[in-house]
Amino acid sequence: MNTTTLVRGLVTGCTIAALATLAACGTADGSSAPKDASAADFCAALKDADMSDASSFSHDLAEVGTPAGIPGPARDGFEVMVEKADQDKISSTEEKKVAAFVSYYTEKCSG
């Protein structure tokens, strides 16, 4: 999966709540995800994420976490994605946080 496809999937999945169609068995706690992931592990986790299963998607991302120095709004967006991967709607505030995360991911991992 290339970066453009992943970003489109993340934006589409979260901002229009398409993740609601995923088979979920519970999501992870995004706030307890590591905050010191290597850039390589972070980028690989998202590139390889199984977006067809909300529980796996959530737990895989939470296991790796985010790199140190991620801006607050982007980290907040990561947490929204992890915690609400199985929900059919997110608020406009949450959408903005997810957009900040997707922007961060694109910048960090598009190289």
pLDDT tens for each residue of 18-77: 334 333 346 788 899 999 999 999 999 988 888 888 888 888 999 999 999 999 999 999
Average pLDDT over residues 72-86: 93
Q: How far is CA 106 from CA 32, 84, 93, in A?
A: 23, 21, 20
Quote the pTM value.
0.76
At residue 41, the pLDDT reads 95
Question: What confidence score (pLDDT) does residue 28 get?
Answer: 82
pLDDT at 14 over 70: no
Q: Hey, is 93 helix, strand or coil?
A: helix
DSSP state of 22: S
> Is 27 within 8 Å of 82 (Cβ atoms)?
yes
Give the burial class of 60: count Cβ atoms within 10 A of its Cβ; 0-12 exposed, 13-18 middle, 19 or more buried: middle
